[in-house]
């Protein structure tokens, strides 16, 4: 008879294997470069078979973008859970803050908390991954637009505001990421500080003269 804890143990083991593959891959990508790292080297580092690798990821690219997908999934969940009385852009910003903290809290060690930065740097310096990220974000953006429109009770096909709000939010995150990864401080707190600093300047940048 299978105990109730057995399925939980299997799921925990699967998650540990997946996380180990991601960490090993990022370490190798950082040391050798993304293009020069093979799936075999990643699996050897974790002591699993290539067959096991492909149970979790379709390719190296799929693995490299997995953290971004996890981050976006967390963001969408947080946005869906924001209080209905929050203005749309406030809900977007608060969902970003909450999702970033949740993802880094799950990882545990201080080295793991730099995973987000490692992935951002890897994508930024690998043209093929950057192209894939832009395609992925374009596809997922529609989901956020629909969710934001539903919160406000508007039709995203006829109302431009949800799409414009998401576009402004995306630009804000991109600007914060760029400032963060070149600022010399790898901490999550520094990322959030960069986000806050850029958010404070968003309205002044769009309204009136800058002098």
Report pTM: 0.81
Q: What is the pLDDT of residue 110?
A: 47
**How far apart, in whole angstroms, are the C-alpha atoms of residue 124 and residue 167?**
20
Mean pLDDT (the chain, rounded): 87
According to CATH, the topology of domain 65-205 is: Tetracycline Repressor; domain 2 (1.10.357)
Q: What is the pLDDT of residue 113?
A: 52
Angle, helices 188-206 vs 88-107, to 10°: value is: 170
Instruction: Enter the tokens of residue 91.
Output: 């809900």
Instruction: Enter the tokens of residue 162.
Output: 């949800």
According to CATH, the topology of domain 1-58 is: Arc Repressor Mutant, subunit A (1.10.10)
Share of the chain above pLDDT 90, in %: 54
pLDDT, one tens digit per residue, over 115-125 is 777 787 888 88
Vertex 101 angle, CA 86 and 116, to 5°:
125
Residue 109 has pLDDT above 50, yes or no: no
Q: Are 95 and 47 in contact (CB under 8 A)?
A: no
How far apart are the two ends of the chain, measured CA to CA in Å? 74
Where would I find the H helices in 108-185?
Answer: 115-124, 127-152, 161-181
pLDDT, one tens digit per residue, over 26-56 is 899 988 889 999 999 999 999 999 999 999 9
Q: What is the pLDDT of residue 1?
A: 53
Name the residue ranges covered by the structural domains of the chain. 1-58, 65-205
DSSP 174-211: HHHHHHHHTSS--SHHHHHHHHHHHHHHHHHHHSS---
């Amino acid at each position: 008879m299978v105990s109730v804890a057995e399925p939980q143990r299997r799921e925990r083991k699967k998650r540990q294997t997946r996380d180990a593959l991601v960490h090993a891959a990022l370490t190798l990508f950082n040391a050798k470069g993304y293009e020069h790292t093979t799936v075999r080297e990643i699996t050897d580092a974790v002591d699993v078979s290539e067959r096991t690798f492909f149970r979790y990821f379709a390719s190296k690219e799929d693995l490299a973008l997995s953290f971004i997908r996890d981050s976006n999934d967390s963001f969408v969940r947080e946005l869906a859970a924001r209080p209905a009385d929050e203005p749309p852009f406030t809900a977007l910003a608060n969902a970003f803050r909450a999702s970033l903290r949740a993802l880094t809290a799950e990882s545990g060690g201080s080295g793991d908390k730099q995973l987000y930065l490692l992935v951002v740097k890897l994508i930024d310096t690998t043209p093929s991954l950057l192209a894939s990220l832009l395609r992925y974000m374009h596809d997922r953006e529609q989901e956020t637009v629909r969710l934001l429109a539903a919160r406000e009770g508007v039709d995203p096909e006829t109302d431009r505001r949800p799409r414009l709000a998401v576009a402004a939010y995306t630009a804000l995150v991109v600007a914060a990421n760029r400032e963060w990864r070149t600022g010399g401080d790898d901490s999550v707190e520094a990322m959030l500080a960069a986000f806050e600093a850029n958010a404070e300047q968003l309205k002044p940048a769009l309204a009136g003269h800058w002098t």
